[in-house]
């Protein structure tokens, strides 16, 4: 006699053998092999897309760093007003004009050629546009002080001031300097030697 539960186990064992004799369809194997080979290509494109994402991310990070540095530099620069002066090189076409002015006019005393050697005694309030040379100023004089032709005949000043400004090359003619008509108008940085009467006596170009 067999216990029904044992009989069930026997039947299940028979069905298990029958079940495990079932084979998977072979045509699926070929299909999967082809899909695996094709999938390798899509995996490559996936890796490339990841590379692109990394490149974009890196680009954004670099852009953020560059923006931060630029912002910091602008903030830092604004804390030093003297560096706001933009120096422009003296146009090459002006050099012969200046040289000519230097040879035809009187010479400036040697002791008055440096801005830092001039005693400031004027108590008048200065215009906002006027910039004065300061210690640590990065601008460098490219010429010595050249007497202005328009200052001929003026009395010798007792006290002089140096006034730095940016001026159009076309405006130099009003000081008696001969500016070629072919020269394109542009701003140059210059320092004027101004007497106590407010009239300019000499000019030099800075860079």
Partner 1 sequence: MFERLRSGERVGGESDTDLHRAALRGNGEAMATLYRRHGPLVYRFTLRMSQNPSIAEEVTQEVFLALLRHTDRFDPSRSALSTWLCSIARNQLSKYFERNMRYQSVDEDEETFDPPSFEDSPALWLTRKEVVEAVRQGIDTLPVPLKEVLLLCEFEDMTYEQAAYILNVPIGTIRSRLHRAKLRLQPLLRPVATVTGKESPR
- The footprint of partner 1 (CB under 8 A) covers 1-5, 7-8, 11-12, 14-16, 19-20, 22-25, 28-29, 31-37, 39-41, 43
Measured from the CB atom, is 38 or 63 closer to partner 1?
Answer: 38
CB atoms under 10 Å from CB of 102, counted, come to 16
Q: How far is the CB of 55 from partner 1 (least distance, A)?
A: 22
Q: How far is the CB of 73 from partner 1 (least distance, A)?
A: 44
Q: How far is the CB of 29 from partner 1 (least distance, A)?
A: 5
Alpha carbons 48 and 52: distance in angstroms, whole number: 6
Measured from the CB atom, is 44 or 126 closer to partner 1?
Answer: 44
- Helices (H), ranges, 21-93: 27-78
Three-class secondary structure of residue 179 per DSSP:
coil
List Cβ neighbours of 166 (8 Å cut-off, separation of 6 or more): 85, 86, 88, 187, 188, 189, 190
Q: How far is the CB of 17 from partner 1 (least distance, A)?
A: 9
**Residue entry with tokens 């931060």:** 68
Q: How far is the CB of 49 from partner 1 (least distance, A)?
A: 15
Alpha carbons 43 and 77: distance in angstroms, whole number: 51
CA dihedral 123→125→130→132, nearest 10 degrees, is 40
Measured from the CB atom, is 9 or 178 closer to partner 1?
Answer: 9
Enter the tokens of residue 51. 């590379």
Q: How far is the CB of 56 from partner 1 (least distance, A)?
A: 22
In angstroms, the first-to-last Cα distance of the chain is: 118
Measured from the CB atom, is 29 or 99 closer to partner 1?
Answer: 29
Measured from the CB atom, is 32 or 69 closer to partner 1?
Answer: 32
Measured from the CB atom, is 46 or 63 closer to partner 1?
Answer: 46
């Amino acid at each position: 006699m067999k216990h029904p539960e044992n009989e069930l186990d026997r039947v299940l064992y028979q069905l298990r053998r029958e079940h495990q004799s079932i084979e998977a369809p072979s045509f699926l194997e070929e299909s999967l092999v082809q899909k695996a080979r094709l999938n390798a290509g899509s995996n490559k494109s996936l890796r490339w897309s990841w590379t692109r994402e990394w490149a974009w991310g890196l680009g954004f990070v670099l852009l953020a760093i560059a923006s931060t540095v630029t912002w910091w530099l602008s903030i830092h620069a604004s804390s030093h007003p003297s560096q706001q002066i933009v120096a422009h090189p003296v146009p090459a076409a002006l050099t012969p004009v200046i040289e000519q002015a230097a040879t035809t006019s009187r010479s400036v005393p040697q002791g008055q050629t440096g801005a830092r050697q001039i005693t400031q005694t004027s108590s008048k309030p200065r215009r906002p546009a006027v910039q004065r040379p300061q210690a640590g100023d990065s601008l460098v004089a490219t010429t010595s002080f050249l007497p202005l032709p328009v200052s001929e005949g003026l009395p010798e000043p007792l006290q002089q001031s140096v006034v730095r400004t940016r001026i159009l090359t076309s405006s130099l003619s009003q000081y008696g300097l001969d500016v070629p008509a072919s020269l394109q108008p542009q701003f140059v940085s210059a320092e004027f030697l101004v007497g106590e009467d407010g009239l300019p006596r000499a000019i030099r170009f800075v860079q």
